[in-house]
Structure 1
Amino acid sequence: MPVQLNPDPSFKDALAASDRPLAGMWVCSGSPLVAEICAGAGLDWLLIDAEHSPNGLESVLAQLQAVHGYPVKAVVRPPVNETVVIKQYLDLGVQSLLIPMVHTADDAAAAVSAARYPPLGVRGVGSALARSARWNRIPDYLARASETITVIVQIESAQAVDNVAEILAVDGVDAVFIGPSDLAASMGVLGQQEHPDVTAAVEHCIKAAKAAGKPVGVNAFAEATARRYLAAGVDFILVGADVAMLARGSEALAARYLPPLGEPVQTPASY
């Protein structure tokens, strides 16, 4: 007799159950081994990224499997807000999606529709073939699927900031996440995530989410900035990335043991 399973709680359940902001990190290496190492770090959540990272369906699946046994929530960012792509990620067993480049309420509504079966949406039905339903080992999966899926939309443009109230009002948007890097670029201050206009826009979105009663998150690698946004009331935050930590850590190791570039190497005197 096959094993009968229940879906795992998704990210919206973790947000609802927590009495503090949830702290997480990016997983961008594409490696299931690195994802598993990060899953055991004690953080609340991981963002497995397929927009700016070398991830495809197979590597996302492997990372979901690698982190599944750990007490951490996996959120996955697909490369684009597109119905077929979202369907494929959901069928892999992704339960929590971060949808990039949502600029309008229509963009947000399209993401929600892609994550829901008819008549509430347009998600294609393939539960007998898919890990999401554990190949129909989750009873009543088709009827329960929407309860188990979290749709987070990313606010990362000046247009999205202008439309944030309308985006938040879309039924089925469970949370918003603010991306200061693309936001800064769209505001004409590329690479200046700490620019006063950018931080003001981020804080405007935080206030809008609070007014709408929906969770809000943000990306902030600089600790002072992260503390600022936590004080402003964000409900979840990303504070680092696997590849960035490896880059900076390996650079520090080289700086500790090698002479600066351009300086002669000191060789020991011969005897």
Structure 2
Amino acid sequence: MNGPAVTWLADRRRLHMNHGPIDLIVEAFGAEVERQAAYTQAANRFGTVLEELVTELPLLRQPVSEASRTLRFSTARRMEEAARSHAPTFVTPMAAVAGGVADEMLTALVAGRRLRRAYVNNGGDVALYLAPGEHMDAAIAGTGHGFADHLAISAEDSVRGIATSGWRGRSHSLGIADAVTVLAENAAQADVAATLIANVVDLPGHPGIARVPASQIDPDSDLGDRLVTQDVGPFSDVEVAAALERGLATANAMAERGLIHSAALFLRGESRICGPLAAAGGSAYKLSWRTVCHV
């Protein structure tokens, strides 16, 4: 595996950072001297993030409990904290790895800088920074579910993280959701919640769902021998509704506990929404697989 690489994108306003499975798009807004200093800070921090995670992988692949564990590095501690908030539900800190890295890199980017706003996009899981009075528009790739195509997040909102999970995503899922997008107070929390909600959008025992043990695909998987979804067949409208309602109940419970701000769940052209997004009737949002933040 090659070492960490940091390069400018063609617009010379965004950095692309890549190291093994970590693939980031980073952008900061503000005075040029502040932006350049922020980018330097982020590039310096990026050099050891993956190495630190590898060092702590044995513990990060173990399920959390309500008791805290000692982890050496800050990214791992972010992941642990986000996962542990859902104990005793089975989950490991690896469910927060993409969001945790995004949060860690955003912290490095903005530390001591006078920026108006900034984001770190880690494969669609996004950490946001907003100075007072600022806002960020998140343009979400279309899903055909009939939502508008922008999500405006202001500094006054509690949302600083966006994440999406589903059975077609980069990580394995226990469920059948096409996508579950979560808004939360940071990207690590959004990442864990999206994973767990997507896991329960499901039809247990349905003959049209192909599953295999996670360990059969990846012997080192944190999911062990738990069955992960590999393919899904046709479902009736009643079955789609039942699967979505299972996920919605979990999302609503998380929102009531303050673990998430909102969530949007998608399956076979149908959707369910919880939190403030539901109050908007879906008319102001279009939530899907990949998020690209812009001015």
Q: Which has the higher helix share?
A: 1
Q: Which has the higher strand share?
A: 2
TM-score (norm 1): 0.30
TM-score (norm 2): 0.29
- Larger Rg belongs to: 1
